[in-house]
Amino acid sequence: MFVLDAIHKSYGQNHVLRGVSCTIGEGEIVGIAGPSGAGKSVLLKILGNVEQPDRGTIRQVNGRQIKGESLEGEGLASVGFLFQESALFDSLSVLENVAFPLIDAGKYHRSEAEESVEYEQGMQKAYDVLEAVGLGHAYKKHPGQLSGGMRRRVGIARALVCSPDLVLLDDPTGGLDPVAARVIMDLIAELHQRYKPSVVIVSHDLRRMLPSVERLLVLFDGSISADTSIDCLEDSISPRVRSFLSTRYDFSRAG
Ligand SMILES: Nc1ncnc2c1ncn2[C@@H]1O[C@H](COP(=O)(O)OP(=O)(O)O)[C@@H](O)[C@H]1O
Ligand SMILES: [Mg+2]
């Protein structure tokens, strides 16, 4: 379980996160919603160790830790990240994009001849994950040759390639048409079943996200104003959270 305790983050005078505390269960799939600029992406980056909190801790209980006091002999938890807008490398092939975290993490060194066993294994692993997202056939292509939905699938494969304990997906359906967005949400649900990592999804598209997640966190004014399982969403939110959510989600048609 991942435990966030009183996370604070400011940029200059902008106190974005003001004591965020929550947990992400092992193998759980959690959604984060909140107004634009609320700090959802910042929170994800802190979870992903891309940004450092000013105060507060993130620990992985019963396992390796992400942050906090160092546990001797234990490495960092592995985290897979799909950044907002995918952020693929246009100069690399699809396969190289997916394999990048393996090589970057030094798990599979690129030898001079590119013929080491480790390199081959890394590329095989990347290919396997690419097949799992339905893009095995496109491994040689470059990101610029793919549709938006396919690029997003490459980003998801890259987030999974290290067999992470925690997968962070920032706006995985952003900018996609409704059909492509549906395909991506279904794929995320399928991959979650298959690999069973903890997953955190940030999305504006509540209508598509809510059926795929087990729990919803709502980030308001720098802290978590709602933390509820989807089953009792309607009963457990404040009027303010409800009024925010109802601009994006039709409660009368939920169920
Ligand atoms: N690297 C940064 N430098 C300065 N301000 C930042 C930085 N990253 C985010 N912010 C600010 O933090 C706030 C939250 O941003 P963000 O997490 O991207 O919001 P959202 O909830 O829409 O994802 C915004 O006011 C944004 O301008
Ligand atoms: Mg964002």
- Tokens (6 digits) for 185: 């949400």
Q: Which atom of ligand 1 is nearest to the CA of 42?
A: 17
- The finding on whether 52 has its CB within 6 A of some atom of ligand 1 is no
Helices (H), the chain: 40-47, 94-104, 117-132, 148-160, 178-195, 206-209, 239-246
Confidence check: pLDDT of 70 > 70: no
Ligand 2 center to residue 43 CA distance, Å? 9
Q: Is the CB of 25 under 6 A from ligand 1?
A: no
Q: Could you tell me how far CA 163 lies from the centroid of its own chain? A: 13
Q: 71 alpha carbon to ligand 2 midpoint, in Å?
A: 31
Minimum CA distance residue for ligand 1 atom 6: 11
Give the mutation target among 11, 20, 36, 218 for probing the ligand 1 site: most ligand atoms within 8 A of CB: 11
User: Which positions ≥6 away from 62 have C-beta within 8 Å?
Assistant: 1, 26
Tell the residue nearest (CA) to atom 16 of ligand 1.
39
Q: What is the pTM of this model?
A: 0.89
Which ligand gives the minimal distance to the CA of 35? 1
Nearest-atom number in ligand 1 for the CA of 51 is 1
What is residue 205's three-state secondary structure? coil
pLDDT at 240 over 50: yes
pLDDT at residue 73 is higher than 50: no
What's the mean pLDDT in 58-75?
A: 61
221 CB within 6 A, ligand 1? no
Residue pLDDT, tens place only, 137-156: 999 999 999 999 999 999 99
The finding on whether 36 has its CB within 6 A of some atom of ligand 1 is yes
Distance of CA 130 to the CA centre of its chain: 17
Q: Per-residue pLDDT tens for 86-104?
A: 789 999 999 999 998 887 6
Query: How many whole angstroms separate alpha carbon 133 and alpha carbon 150?
Result: 9
Residue 218 CB–ligand 1 contact under 6 Å: no
Residue 76 clears pLDDT 80, i.e. is over it:
no
Q: Which atom of ligand 1 is nearest to the CA of 34?
A: 21
Is 210:201 a contact under the CB 8 Å cutoff?
Answer: no
Q: Which atom of ligand 1 is nearest to the CA of 84?
A: 23
For the cut 70, the answer to whether the pLDDT of residue 115 exceeds it is no
